[in-house]
Amino acid sequence: VNPLGFDKRGPYGLDVEQSAAESAAQIVPTAKVTGAFHHVAAASLWSEEDNLSHEDVLVCGDDADAVATVVELAATVTGKPGVKAGALRLARQLEPLTAVLISINKAYKTRSGIAISGL
């Protein structure tokens, strides 16, 4: 889930006090919440033809075991482990970046994603 808005000029990140992931953690305080898969195109997740090995899944969360589980889950989707991106509060920065990817996808008629160099 990404808190985004859309208008005539295109997508944009909403100015929110906390991320959707943080909201989920607040609503269900016993849940082990992570933020991940924000930058993988939904259509690519469902497509057997798309090879996602060029993309990195950024994973943020406060529970080390939950993060480790999602890091490994990412490997089943992209063929490589997810990238530990830090604390759950960083989802505030990760979620709205999706608006930029949507804009790129529209301009270039593609399904762009995120790749972290140097890892």
Per residue in 5-45, pLDDT (tens digit) is: 999 999 999 999 999 999 999 999 999 999 999 999 888 88
Tokens of 35: 């933020």
Nearest to 50 by CA among 79, 14, 29: 79
- Residue 9 falls inside a structural domain: yes
pLDDT of 47 higher than 80: no
| Upper half-sphere CA count for residue 42 (Cβ side, 13 Å) | 4
The pLDDT value given to residue 42: 81
pLDDT at 108 over 80: yes
Cα angle 72, 92, 57 (rounded to 5 degrees) comes to 25
Q: Is the predicted pLDDT of residue 51 greater than 80, yes or no?
A: no
Amino acid at 50: D
- Token pair 């997508």 is at which residue? 11
Type of residue numbered 105: N
- Which residues span the domain enclosing 14? 4-108
The answer to the question of residue 115 being in a domain is no
Packing angle, helices 20-27 and 91-108, rounded to 10 = 140
CATH number, domain containing residue 12: 3.40.50.720
* Position 18 in a domain: yes
Q: Sign of the CA dihedral 104, 95, 16, 28?
A: positive
